[in-house]
Amino acid sequence: MATQTINGKAFEYSLLLEFFERLNKVTTVSITQNAPYATAKGHFESFDEKEQSTFRISASAAINFLVDIEPRLSNAINEKDILILEIVSDQEGQTGDVRDVLSIRSEQKWQIGISAKNNHRAVKHSRLSMNIDFGEKWLYHPCSKTYFETIKPVFDMLQEIKTKDRSTKWTTIENMHDVVYVPILEAFRAELLRLDKEHPNSVAENLVQYLIGTEDFYKVIKGKRKVEIQAYNIHGSLNLSFQKQKPKAKIQKLKLPSRLIEVVFKKDSKTTLLVSLDEGWQIAFRIHNASSRVEPSLKFDINLISAPHTLFTQHVLLDL
């Protein structure tokens, strides 16, 4: 398993652990000991004590802040109102829910979720291939026949290379960027613009919803000496008061875009498209081969370059 994944799972466990440590003194807390919990715990315990401590200090800084802005974490309405802590299966991310750690109060019909990131900020890793209709999957509007006809020669070529010799490396393809990446990105760009033109009121919004998730959540990014907390409060379910107890900071609702402004290649790049939308959203789509061997499939590393000024962001510096 890749180091990035192991670190990420260990950080998820740290957040759950710090939630429990911080809150079980003031309210009844229960941990769901499911398979994702066991996996995350195993990865956390694979680190030495010093590294475990670093994970926990980072998680603790985030949890202390979240407790201040989410009063329902600490407050129950009655004895049956148990705070349930749960690590979510990775399968959920496939269906548009990017949250990794959940805090649930069934009695209050309330929950908040955290997307945990360890030293990386990518919002999604999505694939393109002959069998993937990104329009249907991401935007709820199918791609055109023209799009598939345009990308077919490239993916057919890759399939042919793989069929001849499964061990062929990408580096053996001459001018790979020009013969593989650029034509695929140009087809993707043209199709995205076409879909937006045909469905002007939904493509921009659906694209961002696909990338950042369908549920409101906090993103907690563990850095070297700081933790960053972002609040994706699209539906207004974050930062609620508990009876008369108000949160210690106010989080605005986040505005989704309504239109695509432009889709262009990043300057001096043959691998990255920049997608600009209204309301201050900009997204980078960097295409790459997912493995060292040639296969008829490519992967996007998708990053949020800018978000609306209404995206609540808090930096907590750590004394490590």
Order of strands, sheet of 83-87, starting from the edge strand that comes earlier in the sequence = 29-31, 83-87, 101-105, 110-118, 217-222, 226-232, 312-317
The helix (run of H) or strand (run of E) holding residue 227 is strand 226-232
Please give the C-alpha separations between residue 246 and each of 72, 102, 197, 261, in angstroms, as whole numbers: 10, 21, 43, 38
Dihedral angle over CA of 31, 36, 39, 42, nearest 10: -20
Q: pLDDT tens, 94-111?
A: 567 889 999 999 999 999
Residue 122 pLDDT: 64
Residues for the chain: how many in total?
320
Residue 291 pLDDT: 86
Q: Judge whether 289 and 170 are in contact, CB under 8 Å.
A: yes
Q: What is the mean pLDDT of each run of 10 residues along the chain (320 residues)?
A: 84 97 97 97 96 96 97 97 94 71 97 87 83 95 98 97 95 95 98 96 93 90 93 95 95 93 97 97 94 94 90 90
Provide DSSP, 64-132: HHHHHH-GGGT--SSTT-PEEEEEPPTHHHHTT---SEEEEEGGGTEEEEEEEEES--EEEEEEEETT-
Name the phi and psi angles at 188, rounded to 5.
-60, -45
* pTM above threshold 0.75: yes
Residue 196 pLDDT: 96
Question: Tokens 């001849």 sit at which residue?
Answer: 164
